[in-house]
């Protein structure tokens, strides 16, 4: 099936890969933001601006994919699969952007161990999303793709546990209600990033099972 694709059809995979690259960039920018909290490094506002730029670039790739979908007679995957995949991929960067905006809005000056752990998990998820996406153009890669999807599911479960631990500590130890509300929101946004990555994994898994 995939070896017979017309050049125009193959461009879908180029667009998926371009978006996946931006997801990895967003994950790296998230880590850079977190690492600069509480230091004399770059301001959170500057990090948020860079993440905004990455999210905007990803939106452009999403729009290009949708435009191609509407003008293509034949597509390498089911039209609904293409639509769902690119939209769910775009959701990842949307939430990374939400996180950076919350960090700036809340004027976060320090981060807990759990927040940093969640950020690391988010970055690992972004990397694995790219790893799965770049293999999609060849269903001979099905075992490797499914393995990566399983890793994403495990990472999402890890994030759930870290978030629960962090929230438990907040309600036990944090006396400032405003700080409690801020950090609970931060934890939830970070955990949501892993959810959105796992959503992509579920779509990719369905694509592989249907086409391999």
Q: Is the pLDDT of residue 1 over 90?
A: no
CATH 1.10.10.1590 fits 9-211, yes or no: no
- What is the full DSSP assignment across 125-187? HHHHHHHHHTTTT-GGGHHHHHHHHHHHHHHHHHHHHHHHHHHHHHHHH---HHHHHHHHHHH
Say whether pLDDT at 47 is over 90. Answer: yes
pLDDT (0 to 100) of residue 6: 41
In this prediction, residues 182-197 reach a mean pLDDT of 97
Compute the distance between CA of residue 55 and CA of residue 9 in angstroms, rounded to an integer.
25
Asked if residue 5 has pLDDT above 70, the reply is no
82 has pLDDT over 60: yes
Per-residue pLDDT at 2: 42
Predicted confidence at residue 10, as pLDDT, reads: 66
Contact status, residue 91 vs residue 83, Cβ threshold 8 Å: no
Portion of the chain with pLDDT greater than 70, in percent: 95
- Domain locations along the chain: 9-211
109-136 pLDDT, tens digit each? 899 999 999 999 999 999 999 999 999 9
What is the reported pLDDT for 7? Answer: 44
Q: Which has more confidence, 48 or 6?
A: 48
């Amino acid at each position: 099936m995939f070896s017979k694709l017309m050049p125009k059809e193959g461009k879908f995979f180029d667009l998926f890969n371009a978006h996946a690259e931006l997801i990895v960039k967003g994950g790296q920018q998230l880590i850079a933001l977190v690492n600069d909290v509480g230091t004399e490094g770059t301001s959170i506002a500057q990090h948020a601006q860079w993440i905004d730029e990455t999210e905007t670039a990803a939106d452009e790739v999403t729009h290009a994919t949708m435009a191609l979908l509407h003008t293509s007679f034949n597509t390498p995957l089911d039209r609904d699969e293409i639509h769902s995949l690119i939209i769910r991929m775009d959701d990842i960067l949307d939430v990374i952007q939400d996180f950076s905006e919350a960090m700036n809005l809340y004027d976060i000056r320090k981060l807990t161990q759990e927040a940093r752990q969640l950020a690391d998990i988010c970055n690992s998820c972004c990397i694995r999303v790219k790893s799965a996406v770049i293999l999609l153009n060849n269903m001979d890669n099905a075992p490797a793709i499914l393995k990566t999807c399983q890793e994403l599911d495990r990472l999402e479960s890890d994030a759930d546990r870290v978030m629960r631990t962090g929230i438990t500590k907040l309600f036990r130890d944090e006396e400032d209600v405003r700080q409690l509300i801020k950090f609970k929101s931060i934890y939830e946004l970070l955990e949501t990033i892993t959810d959105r990555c796992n959503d992509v994994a579920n779509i990719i898994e369905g694509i592989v099972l249907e086409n391999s």
